[in-house]
Amino acid sequence: MAEHATEKFWDMIKGFDTCMVTTRDGETLRARPMAPRLSKERGEILFITEKTSHKVGEVAGDDQVACTFTKHGEYVALSGTASVTQDRARIDEIWDAEMEAWMPQGKDGPNVAVLVIKPSQAEIWDVKTNKITQAYEFAKAYLGDKDRPDTTEHVKVQL
């Protein structure tokens, strides 16, 4: 079951083009949308960023991060640790045309870095039922036949 859940985690997050990355800024939590790139082989989620950005300083002060992915019917939340690298091989690995819009100096610019997140645990919510089944489940819960609607697979994953 654990191996299946881990595979499901990686399969689900590869379908998201944006996630909210949350860091700690002193006593405040800060979230921002970022475009994830995956390194399933290393068990990492990678993001192009600027080494002078606030998030880089926040990660230097506290490497604990959270990421949330959401689209209709699919939800993933993860906790992990973050680090930042300017290793050119890592930048080359995830660089694409979309990055050019955010980093006009190009991938060889002195401010380009990679935010590396190593997830340690995740939770997955995957709505598996069609609209008719969902309506039936909600009606049964409303009428008291069930404690709550059964429309979603929910799995906790240790990574």
CATH number of domain containing 130? 2.30.110.10
Integer Cα distance of 134 and 23 in angstroms: 35
Identify whether the C-beta of residue 92 lies closer than 8 Å to the C-beta of residue 107.
Answer: yes
Give the per-residue pLDDT at 125.
Answer: 87
Look at residue 134 in the predicted model and tell me its pLDDT: 46
- The residues near 73 (Cβ < 8 Å, ≥ 6 apart) are 126, 127
Tell me the pLDDT band of 1, cut-offs 50, 70 and 90: low
Q: Which domain holds residue 70?
A: 2-158
CB neighbours of residue 6 within 10 Å: 17
Please check the confidence at residue 131 and state whether its pLDDT lies above 60.
no
Share of the chain above pLDDT 70, in %: 82
Do the Cβ atoms of 78 and 10 come closer than 8 Å?
Answer: no
Q: Which residue has the higher pLDDT, 72 or 28?
A: 28
Give the span between the Cα atoms of 105 and 94, in whole angstroms. 16
Are the C-beta atoms of 116 and 59 separated by less than 8 Å?
A: no
Phi-psi region of 31 (alpha: psi -120 to 50; beta: other; left: phi over 0): beta
Q: What is the pLDDT of residues 2-59, one digit of tens each?
A: 678 899 899 999 999 999 999 999 999 999 999 999 999 999 999 999 999 999 999 9
Q: Write down the pLDDT at residue 138.
A: 46
Total count of domains within the chain: 1
Average pLDDT value for the chain: 86
Q: What is the mean pLDDT of residues 76-95?
A: 96
